Amino acid sequence: MPREQSYILAFAGLTILAWQTGFGTLALMPFTLLATWFHEMAHGLSAIALGAEFHRLVIFANGSGFAEFSGSIGHLGQAAIAAAGLLGPSVAGCLLIVASRSRRATQLALLVLASALAISTAVWVRSVAGWVVLPLFAAAAGYIALRGSAKWQRITAEFLGVQGVVSVYQDLGYLFSPGGTVGGMSARSDTGLIADALFLPYWFWGGLITLTILVMVWLSLRFASRY
């Protein structure tokens, strides 16, 4: 495997491990909040795609958050929206990694990300943590896309791509559990919601989603190496 791809995988592994410790979570807090944005935006956009109304996105300072939406979506819709929160960020992250192989694609990907961060903050985000952190990421991504060197554009796209890919593993216990705590209140986990809407236990869906993400990462790295 090329050295740069090995670095991407190594950083992804270190990020996941860091998120499992209190110190690591604190050190990576800005990126934890970005990972929460990836996750909750995937919920919200999938809700819109299924005909529901996306009301707001809340990100708490501790890294938890939620997307509020309403509408008649049925059991399959509920499962699809829950799964989107787990798979959507990894899809976006893999696209950033693939884009990093070409400078033009990298610039475009960073500008799209910057625009998405800025627009979502203005339209849906309703929390102080989100209002503070997300515009900073938008400004940084936009500046690097327009003024950064090719090297820093590539590193930024790869780095942010990794954050998207591994965002589902912020809390491995949450992924492989029926529920957790969000904003001080008990809530079903996404895998728990999928199990409620369909069949088979939450741990089956957690395992299937983990395997799917690993396949997506392998394909994105393989595709990127062709450039």
- For 78, 99, 179, 206, 215, the CA distances from 142, given in Å and listed in that order, are 34, 15, 36, 34, 30
Q: Can you give the residue ranges of every domain in the chain?
A: 3-62+75-224
Nearest to 11 by CA among 160, 149, 222: 160
What DSSP element (H or E) covers 20?
A: none
- pTM as predicted: 0.86
Dump pLDDT digits (tens) for 29-74: 888 899 889 999 999 999 999 999 999 999 998 888 899 999 888 8
Span 155-191, pLDDT tens digits: 899 888 888 888 777 666 677 777 766 556 677 888 9
pLDDT for 6 beyond 80: no
